[in-house]
């Protein structure tokens, strides 16, 4: 991966050219909590799918994740700050406007990016996050404690244990992730998302209890439509063919 300086924080990223004739705009991918570019976008086939469809694909490891710099101060996180990393990467690469797709936490970051810099986001995909985007992140304390526990065997909360197991699977810096999830959760209100001007696709698995209803969020955004990914929960929806086909069709329209 390449790296760049985002206001003093080293951010790792990939920049993959399209296969064959290029589409007019590139796409920026923003991964979810405790994940990274490889887990969220390369292994599920997204980078291959998008480059073969003619898109230049840019994706980065969020601060505290993957190969980007690990910060242990919760003040160094929060979706608005992480959206600035995305904006600075676009600046670094000389990209004026792009499609942007985020998954879970990445969808939240995408929303902040589109709200603050509407000219930079031609269209947005909110994957793995529905109506819970405007309800905020609840129950982060047990997850942070689980990440800070000496061993996963010390974690009894089943949801928190799932996050700890996933963080270990991705070989993450547990202290950095705990700081990230403890960071202030700047709210996005229903009025905020109603101000989104770009086309939006809200794509969520039908069995995803973490994201909440995709239709519920899409109904708040005048330019949005919902995509339900059948029989998929939060983790399994990422690489689903219905999700990929729906995004490709959405990008073509946008």
* Domains defined for the chain, CATH in brackets: 2-136+185-253 (3.40.50.1820)
pLDDT at residue 79, as a whole number: 93
Stated pTM of the model: 0.95
Reported as a pLDDT band with limits 50, 70 and 90, residue 63 is very high
| CB contact at 8 A, 14 and 1 | yes
For residue 109, give the nearest of 140, 131, 77 by alpha carbon.
Answer: 77
Q: What are phi and psi of 69, to 5 degrees?
A: -65, 140
**pLDDT tens digits, one per residue of 81-133:** 999 999 999 999 999 999 999 999 999 999 999 999 999 999 999 999 999 99
Cα 254 to Cα 25, 109, 124, distances in angstroms: 10, 20, 9
Q: Per-residue pLDDT for 186 more than 80?
A: no
Percentage of the chain modeled with pLDDT above 70: 97
What is the chain's mean pLDDT, rounded?
95
Phi, psi at 246, each rounded to 5°: -65, -40
CA–CA separation, 184 and 110 (whole Å) = 17
Range name among 14-28, 68-82, 133-147 with the lowest pLDDT average: 133-147
Angle, alpha carbons 144-147-148 (nearest 5°): 90
Determine the pLDDT at residue 183: 83
Please say if the pLDDT value at position 160 is more than 90. no
Is residue 217 a contact partner of residue 130, using CB atoms and an 8 Å limit? yes
- Sheet of strand 2-6: strand arrangement: 2-6, 9-16, 57-60, 27-30, 98-103, 121-127, 200-205, 224-229
Q: Is 171 left (phi over 0), alpha (psi -120 to 50) or beta?
A: left
Q: Judge residue 97's burial from the number of C-beta atoms within 10 Å of its C-beta, 0-12 exposed, 13-18 middle, 19 or more buried.
A: middle
Quick one: pLDDT at residue 138? 58
Per-residue pLDDT band at 136 (split at 50, 70, 90): low
């Amino acid at each position: 991966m390449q790296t760049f300086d985002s206001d003093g924080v080293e951010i790792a990223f990939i920049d993959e050219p399209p296969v064959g004739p290029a589409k007019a705009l590139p796409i920026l991918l923003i991964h979810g909590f405790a994940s990274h570019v490889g887990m969220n976008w390369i292994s599920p086939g997204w980078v291959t799918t998008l480059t073969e469809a003619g898109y230049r694909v840019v994706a980065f490891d969020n601060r505290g994740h993957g190969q980007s710099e690990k910060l242990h101060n919760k003040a160094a996180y929060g979706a608005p700050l992480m959206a600035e990393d995305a904006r600075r990467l676009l600046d670094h690469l000389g990209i004026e406007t792009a499609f942007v797709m985020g998954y879970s936490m990445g969808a939240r970051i995408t929303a902040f990016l589109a709200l603050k810099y509407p000219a930079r986001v031609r269209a947005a995909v909110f994957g793995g996050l529905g109506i819970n985007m405007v309800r905020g992140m609840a129950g982060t304390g047990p997850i942070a404690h689980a990440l800070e526990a000496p061993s996963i065997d010390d974690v009894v909360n089943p949801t928190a244990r799932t996050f700890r197991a996933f963080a270990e699977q991705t070989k993450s810096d547990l202290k950095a992730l705990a700081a990230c999830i403890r960071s202030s959760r700047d709210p996005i209100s229903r009025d905020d998302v109603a101000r989104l001007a770009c086309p939006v696709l809200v794509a969520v698995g039908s069995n995803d209890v973490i994201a909440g209803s995709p239709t519920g969020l899409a109904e708040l955004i005048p330019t949005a439509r919902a995509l339900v990914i059948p029989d998929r929960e939060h983790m399994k929806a990422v690489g689903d063919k219905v999700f990929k086909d729906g995004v490709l069709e959405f990008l073509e329209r946008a």
